[in-house]
């Protein structure tokens, strides 16, 4: 069973965070929702409170334990995520997924330089010199999966499920949710 680490912080975008956790758990991915600060209670961008499963600080060697690290958007949340953990995932050739403001975190950590990627349109100018910027809803390049914003969260989550679990499992989960996949 694949394992995914979803990072959240105060200011994270709740649609993006909850959607990816829900879809991946439906696909039988063992998902750990990790708070990057010292409190399991996370106050998201639209005042939804999410209770994380674990504190990131309590996960000693995340890249050895998980197949993917996932960064939902949210301006405040995106600014404080851990560069060290991201570098470990990239150096271990593990999946890295980010959406909305999340690609700015990757840029700050020097992750995915030169790869095709996308972000929320407002952040294009901040990341296009680092990535080969694409105007697509979801972009997969190597082990990097990026997406644009709340409206693309379901597609992003299903594509992450496809990469972690295979196309058949992603189709099965999509059908259960009445979501039409592009494949």
Residue 59 lies in a domain: yes
Q: Do the beta carbons of residue 145 and residue 100 sit within 8 Å?
A: no
Q: How far apart are CA 153 and CA 159, in angstroms?
A: 10
Residue 182 lies in a domain: no
Residue 183 lies in a domain: no
Give residues with Cβ within 8 angstroms of 171, minimum separation 6. 181, 183
pLDDT averages per 10-residue partition of the chain, 183 residues: 96 97 99 95 96 96 97 74 87 98 94 98 96 98 98 98 98 98 87
β-strand 41-43 against 49-51: which pairing, if any? antiparallel
Residue 127 lies in a domain: yes
The pTM score is 0.96
Work out how many domains the chain is built from and give that number: 1
Residue 141 lies in a domain: yes
Q: Which pairs count as long-range contacts for 79-85, CB under 8 Å and 24+ apart, including other chains? A: 79/11, 79/105, 80/9, 80/36, 80/37, 81/7, 81/9, 81/36, 81/105, 82/7, 82/36, 82/56, 83/108, 83/109, 85/7, 85/56
Catalytic residues: 100
- Got the DSSP string for 84-98? HHHHHHHHTT-EEEE
pLDDT value for 182: 85
CATH number of the structural domain spanning residue 76: 3.40.50.880
Residue 144 lies in a domain: yes
pLDDT value for 74: 86
* Domain extent for 144: 3-176
pLDDT value for 105: 92
Residue 181 lies in a domain: no
pLDDT value for 6: 97
Residue 16 lies in a domain: yes
């Amino acid at each position: 069973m694949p394992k995914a680490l979803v990072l959240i912080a105060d200011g994270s975008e709740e649609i993006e965070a909850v959607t990816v956790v829900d879809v991946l758990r439906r696909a039988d991915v063992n998902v750990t929702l990790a708070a990057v600060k010292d409190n399991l209670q996370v106050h998201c961008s639209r005042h939804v409170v999410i209770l994380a499963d674990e504190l990131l600080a309590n996960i000693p060697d995340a890249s050895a334990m998980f197949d993917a690290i996932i960064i939902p958007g949210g301006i405040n949340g995106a600014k404080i995520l851990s560069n060290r953990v991201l570098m470990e995932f990239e150096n271990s050739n593990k999946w890295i997924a980010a959406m909305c403001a999340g690609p700015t975190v990757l840029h700050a950590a020097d992750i995915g330089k030169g790869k095709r990627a996308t972000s929320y349109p407002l952040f294009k100018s901040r990341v296009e010199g680092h990535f080969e910027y694409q105007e697509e809803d979801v972009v997969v390049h190597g082990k990097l999966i990026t997406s644009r914003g709340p409206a693309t969260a379901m597609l992003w989550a299903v594509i992450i499920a496809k990469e972690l679990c295979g196309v058949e499992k992603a189709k099965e989960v999509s059908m259960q949710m009445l979501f039409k996949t592009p494949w």
